[in-house]
Structure 1
Amino acid sequence: MANHYLHNVQGLFDTIAPNYDRMNNIISLGTHRHWRRQTMAQIHLRPTDHVLDLCCGTGDWTIALAQELTATDGVIGLDFSAPMLKIAQQKVHQAHVDKQVWLRRGNAMHLPFHDNQFDVVTIGFGLRNLPDKVQGLAEIYRVLKPGGQLICLETSQPDQPLIKPVWQWYFTRVVPWFGRLFAHQYQEYAYLQETTRHFVSYRQLVTLFQQTGFTQVHYQRFNFGAAAAHFGTKPATTEVHHD
């Protein structure tokens, strides 16, 4: 079932890849760049850190991370969509960070990396598309070094009574319409708004982080809760975590 799900979602992202960046700007009204800058400001990267940017898409966060690092292949950007990675490679070259970035195609549910390999793992707007969020978080935990940090930037759901109905209207009605108007891809963007609307709340995501074994879990919300960045640290000890 999970493989069938991944195949379908991969096909969707393969299809929307050419319009992905433009549609992100339209749907978020350009605010997704602000969210990422605000999140980046809270990541204390060392120039020699090794970073995994998971579900890297067209590479915007991968590039931002690479610009903070000096190590060759300091950032690995992983995604399951070849068309997305092709666009990311072009952008990496244009940003002159080819030496710092290695783009790989792979499955976030079964990461092709050794245990305790990365100082930092980032995942932007990708966790909600995994068929099993718990398994995805467990894989991230596995590949992080003890003391390493996970940063997850994701769409979220406002809970203020005056904001929530406007947000629901925007995502259920406006976002699919934008997909039809600007990209001729109504069904694809109808699916994406569904994953956004039904994703766990920011409080539930804190619980998932903690159940996986992450400590020092905290979050920052953006745009009245339309998005949130969650931070968690793998304990410095290497003891096996049990729920």
Structure 2
Amino acid sequence: MTHLKGEDRAAYVQKMFGRIAHRYDLLNRLMTVGQDVRWRKELIRHMDLSSGSVVLDLGAGTGDIALEISRRYPEAMVVASDFTPEMVMVGRQRPGGDRVSWVIADAMHLPFASQCADAVVSGFLLRNVPDVSHTLEEQHRTLRPGGRVGSLDTTPPRQNWLRPLLEFHLHTVIPFLGKLVAGEAEAYTYLPDSTEKFLTAERLAASFEQAGFQAVGFVRRMLGTIGIHWGQKQV
């Protein structure tokens, strides 16, 4: 649950994602009405990749971002890292999975050398880690000078006339879909709860800057409940 801290929270999240790995992609499409595909492509555009880029996709899940990068940039070296073995197993079996290197690793304690990557990306990772600041510092460590960082994640609904509608979607529609499609309501109750307790888009941008990133920016999507953030390590 969202009140758990540190290792207890990490263990809870790991087991939860392991249970839903087989339906994770389908539920993402249903919950976002297919918009998550567009958001991932938009995130990738902000990374300014080239054919020879080395890219780390952290909290990669079943590899949506990693596989899209590999498809667009066949000569790039793409590493998909996730700490849930079941997610990695599903990702490896997806079309194009053999073109990506898969690693089971914790995003807070990366097994990668310093300054090894041209870009570090993540989709729906930061909301789930026990320590956002440390996770961003790890990403900064692994980037080469001038390398780019990017994140796609949910953000708390803002106070406006749309908030009741967004809360209905978060607290009623999403858990219903989770139970219907994956037989797992708990994981999709965790999602809205953790979203509402997560950093606002502005505060997350500030966390990027505090971790050492420059030229930090973000855009909101899906009526303000999705944030796409990016930044760059100093040259």
TM range (shorter): over 0.9
- Contact 2:46–2:150 (CA<8 Å) still a contact in 1? no
Q: Distance in 2 between matches of 1:41 and 1:117?
A: 21
2:59 counterpart of 1:60:
no
Q: Report the alpha carbon displacement of residue 69 of structure 1 after superposing the two structures with TM.
A: 2.7
Q: What's the RMSD between the two structures over aligned residues?
A: 1.5
Structure 1 unaligned blocks of 5 or more: 237-243
- Contact 2:47–2:149 (CA<8 Å) still a contact in 1? no
- Contact 2:59–2:123 (CA<8 Å) still a contact in 1? yes
Which residue in the other structure is 2:14 paired with?
Answer: 10
- Taking the TM superposition and a 5 Å limit, the aligned residue runs for 1:37-116 are 37-71=41-75, 74-91=77-94, 94-95=95-96, 98-99=98-99, 101-116=100-115
What's the TM-score once normalised by structure 2's chain length? Answer: 0.93
Aligned residue type for 2:98: D
**1:186-206 Cα shifts (integer Å, max 9, x gaps):** 112111221122111100011
Task: Give % identity.
Answer: 32
**1:198-227 Cα shifts (integer Å, max 9, x gaps):** 111100011101111110001121122121
Structure 2 unaligned blocks of 5 or more: none
Which residue in the other structure is 2:31 paired with?
Answer: 27
Aligned residue type for 1:200: L
- Taking the TM superposition and a 5 Å limit, the aligned residue runs for 1:125-164 are 125-159=124-158, 161-164=160-163
Q: Distance in 1 between matches of 2:112 and 2:186?
A: 34
**1:56-112 Cα shifts (integer Å, max 9, x gaps):** 00111111111233447x011000111111110011xx23x624x100000111000
- Contact 1:36–1:153 (CA<8 Å) still a contact in 2? yes
Which residue in the other structure is 1:172 paired with?
Answer: 171
Aligned residue type for 1:89: R
Aligned residue type for 1:149: R
Q: Distance in 2 between matches of 1:20 and 1:60?
A: 11
Q: Distance in 2 between matches of 1:70 and 1:179?
A: 34
Aligned residue type for 1:151: G
Which residue in the other structure is 2:216 paired with?
Answer: 217
Q: Report the alpha carbon displacement of residue 181 of structure 1 after superposing the two structures with TM.
A: 2.1
Aligned residue type for 1:80: F
The count of corresponding residues between Structure 1 and Structure 2 is 231
Q: Distance in 1 between matches of 2:179 and 2:78?
A: 35
Aligned residue type for 2:51: P
Aligned residue type for 2:7: N
Which residue in the other structure is 1:240 paired with?
Answer: none
What's the TM-score once normalised by structure 1's chain length? Answer: 0.90
Aligned residue type for 1:98: D
| Bigger mean CA offset, 202-211 vs 169-178 | 169-178
Q: Secondary structure at the match of 1:230?
A: strand
Q: Report the alpha carbon displacement of residue 19 of structure 1 after superposing the two structures with TM.
A: 1.1
Q: Distance in 2 between matches of 1:41 and 1:214?
A: 18
Q: Distance in 1 between matches of 2:206 and 2:124?
A: 18
- Contact 1:50–1:120 (CA<8 Å) still a contact in 2? yes
Q: Secondary structure at the match of 2:93?
A: helix
Q: Report the alpha carbon displacement of residue 160 of structure 1 after superposing the two structures with TM.
A: 5.5
- Contact 2:46–2:230 (CA<8 Å) still a contact in 1? no
